[in-house]
A and B are shown apart, each in its own frame.
Chain A
Amino acid sequence: MSPAPETAPSESAHVVRVSNVTKVFRLGRMEVQALKGIDLRIRRGEYLSIMGPSGSGKSTLFNMIGGLDKPTSGKVFIDEVDIAQLDAYELAWLRCRKIGYIFQTFNIIPVMTALENVTLPMIFAGMDSEAAVQKGLRLLEQVGLGDRHSHKPSELSGGQQQRVAIARALANDPAIVLADEPTGNLDLTTGEEIIQLLKRLSAERRVTVISATHDFKMLNVSDRVVWIRDGRIDRVEDREQLSITIGRIGTRA
């Protein structure tokens, strides 16, 4: 079903490569440089967090990686394909099968049940209904919502909606899951649960998770953290270095 990145000849260590990306927004007569030259390589299967204060360009970079926005200059490669070169169909294909999106505001389609939300990307991908329903039920089971598949979003709590979103993001076995502030609208405990769930699923399925966040709970599970500041990469830290940073944050706070 999925284009099986395992067997692709392109199997490179980096699933995402960001090369000297800049982005300029025009606000009336003012030009705002949101990104001032970003270089970043994201390894296959890693759990990467993009941290930074709001206004740092974090979300802009995140949208570039997800193919939701185009850089002013520079290139973004996903599996070594320059996504600026893709036409509308290919972009839709990329969003459908290569990338799973998780949003701060959950964005469960309100008119559909949990199960229908999860099966929608599979239907877009051409899977037949029966198979999609089976897989959707299995995915909902895996995120702990096996018994709530026929509920509408309005009947689900925030945490449950985010679980549906995670199941939906994984529907077409994407190579990358992009999570934009996945815990931003959740309380501490629920946020922690969602982070643990994401971590577990990413490990089980060897899927690359990229999340933009300023939730420090995310640091514990991240393999690497990219700190963005003022449109540039401030520093990139591996997990070993992280404990020190967290300690510092802890003492500072």
Chain B
Amino acid sequence: MATPAWFSPSRNSRRIGRQIVLPFGKSVEIAYKSLRVRFFRSLITTLSLVLAVSFFSYTAVGNDIADGLLAAGRPEYRQRLLRAGYDLEADGTRVARGAKQRWILMLSLLVCTVGILNAQLMAVTERFREIGTMKCLGALDRFVLRLFLLEAAMQGLAGATAGAGIGALFALAAGVLRFGPPALSCLPAGAAALSLLAAVGVGVGLSLLGVLYPAWVAARMQPVEAMRVEA
């Protein structure tokens, strides 16, 4: 039986794999449009992330403010910190990050991840036909995976940036209310920036973590789903 030209006898599927492409820029464009069209839904998915990240950032920046006040070396700041309920580390140069604080943070992040997972699973179910259609047009599993990861990364970046900003603002406001202007003047800018960066990083990470399973479900979907009339 003669082998047609389109079918390589060596069955070199890598070569064929490279003949099906979705340039990265195009993926970003599609993911961005996808988010914009479903703006309201994306917003709700992102909202829990914004809340969790702002809590994270509030706590971290609050600690930075307290550290800054301590580092100023003035005994009255130290007194006020103790009165405000901060515990100090043994060497007295930093405020203690208590186990309770860590637990609450972990829990809030966990709840947020489950929320994202739930929302993304629903989003994937809603988009079964769209994904199936793309596969009928020749999309590979990894295109679908990449689109979902990109969408989650964008959502994560936007949500985490907003969350980190909101949390930091609240922390600064609370600091000024409790300790007056020195809260700002003593604040170590580097540490605060690092806290913000960490908050954004954690947010993006959680967003990606939450979409991993839904995206995998989407990527493995059979194109025949696109044909189903119901749903």
Residues of A near any B CB (own CB < 8 A):
3-5, 7-10, 12, 59, 63, 66, 68-69, 79-81, 87-90, 92-93, 95-98, 101, 103-105, 107, 109-112, 120-121, 123-126, 129, 168, 172, 180, 184
Q: Mark contacts of B1-39 with chain A using CB atoms, 8 A cut-off: 1 yes-contact digit, 0 otherwise.
A: 111111100010110110111110010001001101110
Binding site secondary structure of chain A: loop
Q: Are A126 and B21 in contact (CB under 8 A)?
A: yes
Q: Are B226 and A103 in contact (CB under 8 A)?
A: yes
The size of the chain B interface, using a CB distance under 8 A, is 43
Q: Are A123 and B26 in contact (CB under 8 A)?
A: yes
Q: Mark contacts of B53-90 with chain A using CB atoms, 8 A cut-off: 1 yes-contact digit, 0 otherwise.
A: 00000000000000000000000000000000000000
Inter-chain CA distance A196–B20, complex, in Å, is 32
Cβ–Cβ < 8 Å partners of B33 in chain A: 111-112
Inter-chain CA distance A97–B143, complex, in Å, is 17
Q: Are B227 and A81 in contact (CB under 8 A)?
A: no
Q: Are B133 and A124 in contact (CB under 8 A)?
A: no
Cβ–Cβ < 8 Å partners of B5 in chain A: 3-4, 7-10
Q: Are B135 and A95 in contact (CB under 8 A)?
A: yes
Cβ–Cβ < 8 Å partners of A4 in chain B: 5
B37: nearest residue on chain A (CB-CB)?
A111
Q: Are B19 and A110 in contact (CB under 8 A)?
A: no
Among candidates A3, A68, A97, residue contacting B223 with C-beta atoms closer than 8 Å: A68
| B222 contacts the other chain (CB 8 A) | yes
A104: nearest residue on chain B (CB-CB)?
B229
Inter-chain CA distance A154–B141, complex, in Å, is 27
Given the interface pairs A110-B37, A110-B130, the reply to whether A9 lies near B2 with Cβ below 8 Å is yes
| B189 contacts the other chain (CB 8 A) | no
Inter-chain CA distance A121–B17, complex, in Å, is 15
B21: nearest residue on chain A (CB-CB)?
A126
Minimum CB–CB distance from A70 to chain B (whole Å) comes to 10
Q: Are B133 and A103 in contact (CB under 8 A)?
A: yes
Minimum CB–CB distance from A154 to chain B (whole Å) comes to 10
Additional A-B contact list (19), CB under 8 Å, known A89-B14, A95-B135, A97-B138: A4-B5, A5-B4, A9-B5, A79-B4, A80-B2, A87-B11, A88-B13, A93-B16, A96-B137, A103-B226, A107-B226, A110-B37, A111-B33, A111-B34, A111-B37, A112-B33, A124-B22, A126-B19, A172-B138
Cβ–Cβ < 8 Å partners of B20 in chain A: 89, 92-93, 96, 124-126
B140: nearest residue on chain A (CB-CB)?
A92
Q: Are A90 and B16 in contact (CB under 8 A)?
A: yes
Q: Are B137 and A168 in contact (CB under 8 A)?
A: yes
Q: Are B129 and A92 in contact (CB under 8 A)?
A: no
Inter-chain CA distance A10–B14, complex, in Å, is 23
| B123 contacts the other chain (CB 8 A) | no
Cβ–Cβ < 8 Å partners of B227 in chain A: 59, 63, 68, 103-104, 180
Q: Are A109 and B134 in contact (CB under 8 A)?
A: yes
B231: nearest residue on chain A (CB-CB)?
A105
Q: Are B13 and A8 in contact (CB under 8 A)?
A: no
Among candidates B4, B133, B229, residue contacting A9 with C-beta atoms closer than 8 Å: B4
Q: Are B141 and A88 in contact (CB under 8 A)?
A: yes
Given the interface pairs A59-B227, A89-B17, A107-B133, the reply to whether A125 lies near B138 with Cβ below 8 Å is yes
Cβ–Cβ < 8 Å partners of B23 in chain A: 123
Q: Are A95 and B223 in contact (CB under 8 A)?
A: yes
Q: Are A10 and B3 in contact (CB under 8 A)?
A: yes
Inter-chain CA distance A92–B137, complex, in Å, is 8
Inter-chain CA distance A101–B2, complex, in Å, is 27
Nearest 10 pairs between A and B by C-beta? A96-B138, A10-B4, A3-B6, A68-B224, A89-B17, A107-B133, A8-B5, A111-B37, A124-B138, A121-B137
Minimum CB–CB distance from B13 to chain A (whole Å) comes to 4
29 contacting pairs across A/B (C-beta < 8 A): A8-B5, A8-B6, A10-B2, A10-B3, A80-B3, A80-B4, A87-B11, A87-B13, A88-B13, A90-B7, A92-B20, A92-B139, A92-B140, A93-B6, A93-B19, A95-B223, A96-B138, A107-B129, A109-B133, A111-B37, A112-B30, A123-B21, A123-B22, A124-B20, A124-B22, A124-B138, A125-B21, A126-B21, A168-B137
